[in-house]
Amino acid sequence: MNYQWDWGVLLREPYAGWLISGIGWTLLVSAGSWVVALAAGLLIGVARGLPNRLIRLAARCYVELFRNVPPLAQLFLWYFVFPEIVPKAVGLWIKRDMPEPELVTAVVAIGLFGGARVAEQVRAGIDAVGRHLLPAALATGLRPVQAYRLVLLPVGLRAIVGPLTSEFLVIFKMSSISLTIGVMDLTAESRHIENYTFHGFEAFAVATAVYLVLGLLISAAMSALDRRLRPAAIPT
Amino acid sequence: MLGKIVWSLSGLAERVGLSERAGLAGRGLVLGGVLAAGLLSGGTARAQDVDAIVKKLTATHTLTIGYRETSVPMSFLGEDKVPTGYSVDMCRRIAEATKQELKLPELKYAYVPVNIQTRQALVANGTVDIECGGTVNTFARNKQVDFTSISFVASNQLLVLKDSGVKSFADLNGKVVLVATAGSSEPELQKIMTEQKLTLRVLKVDDHPAALLALESHRGDAYFSDNSAFFALIQQSRHPENLAIVGPEIGYAPQGFMIPKNNPTFLWIANHTMAQMYQSGEGNKLIAKWFGPFGVGVGPRLRAAWDAASLPE
Amino acid sequence: MDPFDWGVIARSMDFLAAGMALSALLVVVATLGGVVGGAGLAALRRSPRRFLSAPAAGYVGVMRSVPLVLVLFWFYFLVPLAIGRPIGALTSALVAFVLFEAAFYCEIIRAGIANVRRGQSQAAAATGLRPWQALRLVILPQALRAMVPVLLNQIIIVFQDTSLVYVVALRDFMTSASVIASRDGRPIEMYTLVAVVYFAICFVGSYALQRRRKLNYR
């Protein structure tokens, strides 16, 4: 079976530039999605444990909805359906005049998908500590909001940094689906190079290596964060 | 050597207390690379006396034809879900000629759907014997696959919505231009952007129908592609009166059918059959049948290409 | 754009059904192949011999760190090249899924075995069972009982993952719907349908699993 090797093709322009730009887009999508996922996850995760039945139900619906629809289907909903069901002017702005429409759509879609998973972790973290801490905090005269803000969240969240790492890695890998709506991330650029040069092995190998290295870096950073916060976490 | 570095780095990662997965992943990468390298460094190309395709045809009596599903009128799935179109008709003639030339008792067709991103790979690795969609013959592509004579000549133009106000390339400044990934129009567009100093946003789409969708939903202002696809897109659109083809015809996009390399006999049969079609008027009839409804006939460049391909016996 | 035309769903029912059949095929093959492969990998990883456990661990590490989209591209490109023969997209995708999911099933199986209390293997050894017998008769039955809910849940995840064959244009349910969406110009109707169908199947599936789990704990 013939295959001509040419690792040098990856160092030549424009292919090297494509790879670098791909890495950049992957990081952008991942970072944006993390922020959205954290924000949504915190909100929903806390809502899941609140006394109000309606809020709990709404939060439960959010989680079930965003966990049972594949992320790709969610992305297409945001990209193809959402701009058409809002008022025409808003839809037009979303599709064209918003800066980087594909990036924003991908970040919203992947972020909200991740948010549902983060919400579950947050709920588990709060439940684990809340049983003891919430009554104690309320007994000292704190109002519920203060109890959450000053006691439950700081302590509960510290405990879930570890599980959150795997959620972040899932979101990081999920960033690759943005290529379906035109974001030229690392996976898309490696296929781009394969289309033009036919040196698929080299292109995909480099992409694989970069994902591995970035994944390790993310794990390491989260481990370091976990170690720093752990002494303050209350063992449950 | 690279392997050694990754191996030791991953060992270091383990010792420094990063997740066990870290070190193991690094080692896995090295081992995977060694394994795959072993798999892939098989022999060099063997010189072949008989075409691989001819050998396959004599053994299996089946010709694998690659077709496009939505490339009206070149190659598309008809109402009965059978591939049809200008290119498919030509390929069927080539198949009949092959059957006669190789004296096969029968010839069955196997149809494999291809798209812009996959067609080259599928031909290069031999999954498809002949790609009957019409791909632009370029020198870059010639490194990987062979092309038959020119079946159609197209050039790149812009498909726009009439109310976008785009009438020429200069109007594209500040607009969004759609282009198909892995097509031949992409580098052409980059060249125009550099030459005419245009600043615009390029939005990549997967295929022609996706481009039409993006155009009609106002995600893009213009679709830059070879114009053989435009006629069908306009026809498919629910509001064809809103679409227009504008801009000068740029570039020379001669289309042919792709055949895997190292199949000189099959290539000869294909080119010979096509030349016969051009000389006998059958080519004109096919153009009239498929492109007539769009008001397109045999243009001067196509006529010239056909004449050039009609070698004497 | 034009008013919604939900009739497009009825008109394309056959096409969509064929797509769903392909999705089902992908799930079945990926799950069966993944469980078998995962079991094999788990066995290799538990082996005391480094030359067996290290490559297995490395393989699992790589597969779990790389996006599924990239894995699909890899095998789409690599399988025909490695075999030396042209191979259809379906075969490449099946190979990719089996090899990808095997890594995840390996971790589930390993975790299941590891979670069986240490005392069990010690007690088994004390009754005179050899390690292999202990594994087969004592550890595995307990491990399996714990693993089954996680394994079943993974099936739902695999079902969602199969939608990604969109990137290699394989005609599963998601891709079939998108073909109709572009061809007939009906993205809103088709993608809403896709979301609803996937939601219905996955929600019912995970709900059934939860009820089964609750019933088991009586």
Mean pLDDT value across residues C53-62: 90
Mean pLDDT value across residues A159-173: 88
Average pLDDT of chain B is 80
Contact B129, B65 (CB under 8 A): yes
- pLDDT (0 to 100) of residue B40: 45
pLDDT in tens, B165-185: 888 888 888 888 999 887 778
| Distance, CA of A168 to CA of B93 (rounded, Å) | 56
Residues of C in contact with A215 (CB under 8 A): 65
Q: C-alpha distances in angstroms, A112 versus A5, A155, A186?
A: 42, 24, 22
Is C51 within 8 Å of chain B by CB? Answer: no
Q: Which among A220-234, B243-257, C62-76, C122-136 has the top mean pLDDT?
A: C62-76
Residues of B in contact with C78 (CB under 8 A): 36
Average pLDDT of chain A is 87
pTM of the model: 0.81
Is C197 within 8 Å of chain B by CB? Answer: no
Two tokens at B157? Answer: 């133009």
* In this structure, CATH architecture of domain A12-233: Orthogonal Bundle (1.10)
pLDDT classification of A3: cutoffs 50, 70, 90: low
Mean pLDDT value across residues A105-133: 89
Percent of chain C topping pLDDT 70: 95
Closest residue in C to A169 (Cα–Cα) = C65
Partner chains of C (3+ C-beta pairs under 8 Å): A, B
**Domain map (residue ranges) of chain C:** 7-217
Residues of A in contact with C195 (CB under 8 A): 69, 73-74, 77
- The residue with greater pLDDT, C166 or B249, is C166
- pLDDT (0 to 100) of residue C197: 95
pLDDT classification of B48: cutoffs 50, 70, 90: very low
Average pLDDT of chain C is 87
- pLDDT (0 to 100) of residue C1: 46
How many CA atoms are closer than 13 Å to the CA of C64, on its beta-carbon side?
A: 26
Per residue, the 3-state secondary structure of A191-236, as one string, reads: HHHHHHHCCHHHHHHHHHHHHHHHHHHHHHHHHHHHHHHHHHCCCC
**Min Cα separation C104/chain B (Å):** 13
Closest residue in A to B120 (Cα–Cα) = A195
Tell me which residue has tokens 């370029």: B138
pLDDT classification of B49: cutoffs 50, 70, 90: low
Contact A171, A34 (CB under 8 A): yes
Partner chains of A (3+ C-beta pairs under 8 Å): B, C
Distance of CA B246 to the CA centre of its chain: 23
Residues of B in contact with A183 (CB under 8 A): none
Does the pLDDT of residue C218 top 50, yes or no?
no
- pLDDT (0 to 100) of residue A2: 54
Q: Cβ contact (<8 Å) for C61 and B24? A: yes
Q: Cβ contact (<8 Å) for B213 and C182? A: yes
Q: Cβ contact (<8 Å) for C81 and A85? A: no
Q: Where are the beta strands (DSSP E) in chain B?
A: 62-68, 70-71, 75-77, 83-84, 108-114, 130-136, 145-147, 152-161, 176-180, 201-205, 222-226, 243-260
- The residue with greater pLDDT, B88 or C80, is B88
Cβ-nearest to B218 among A92, A102, A191: A92
CATH number, domain C7-217: 1.10.3720.10
Closest residue in A to B34 (Cα–Cα) = A205
Does the pLDDT of residue B17 top 60, yes or no?
no
Cβ-based contacts under 8 A for chains A and C: 104
Does the pLDDT of residue B1 top 60, yes or no?
no
Q: Cβ contact (<8 Å) for B40 and A212? A: no
**Min Cα separation B206/chain A (Å):** 8
pLDDT in tens, B89-123: 999 999 999 999 888 898 999 888 887 777 887 88
Closest residue in C to A187 (Cα–Cα) = C70
Cβ-nearest to B18 among A92, A95, A223: A223
Tell me which residue has tokens 């995970």: C206
Closest residue in B to A216 (Cα–Cα) = B22
One-letter identity of residue B135: T
Percent of chain A topping pLDDT 90: 47
Q: Cβ contact (<8 Å) for B29 and A209? A: yes
Closest residue in B to C187 (Cα–Cα) = B213
- pLDDT (0 to 100) of residue C85: 64
**Min Cα separation A143/chain B (Å):** 40
Closest residue in B to C63 (Cα–Cα) = B25
**Min Cα separation C160/chain B (Å):** 22
The string over B280-302, giving b where at least 16 C-beta atoms fall within 10 Å of a residue's C-beta and e elsewhere, is eebbeebbeebbeeeebebeebb
pLDDT in tens, B183-231: 778 888 888 888 888 888 889 888 888 889 888 888 888 999 888 778 7
Q: Is B85 left (phi over 0), alpha (psi -120 to 50) or beta?
A: left
Q: Which among A114-118, B33-37, B72-76, B291-295 has the top mean pLDDT?
A: A114-118
Is C67 within 8 Å of chain B by CB? Answer: no
Q: Cβ contact (<8 Å) for B42 and C84? A: yes
- pLDDT (0 to 100) of residue A233: 53
Q: Please confirm whether the linkage preceding B73 is cis (ω < 30° from 0).
A: yes
pLDDT classification of C182: cutoffs 50, 70, 90: confident
- The residue with greater pLDDT, A155 or B3, is A155
Cβ-nearest to C70 among A67, A70, A208: A208
Is A211 within 8 Å of chain C by CB? Answer: yes
Does the pLDDT of residue B22 top 70, yes or no?
no
Closest residue in C to A189 (Cα–Cα) = C70
- pLDDT (0 to 100) of residue C175: 92
pLDDT classification of A20: cutoffs 50, 70, 90: very high
Best probe of the A interface among C26, C65, C85, by most A CBs < 10 A, is: C65
- The residue with greater pLDDT, C51 or A107, is A107
Does the pLDDT of residue B42 top 60, yes or no?
no
Does the pLDDT of residue A42 top 70, yes or no?
yes
Q: Angle of helix B52-60 relative to helix B264-280, nearest 10 degrees? A: 80
pLDDT in tens, C93-105: 999 999 999 999 9
Cβ-nearest to A84 among C1, C84, C174: C1
Mean pLDDT value across residues C79-85: 71
Does the pLDDT of residue B6 top 60, yes or no?
no
- pLDDT (0 to 100) of residue A213: 94
Least confident of B28-42, B47-61, C198-212: B28-42
Q: Is B304 left (phi over 0), alpha (psi -120 to 50) or beta?
A: alpha
Touching A: B residues 7-26, CB under 8 Å: 13, 17-19, 21-22, 25-26
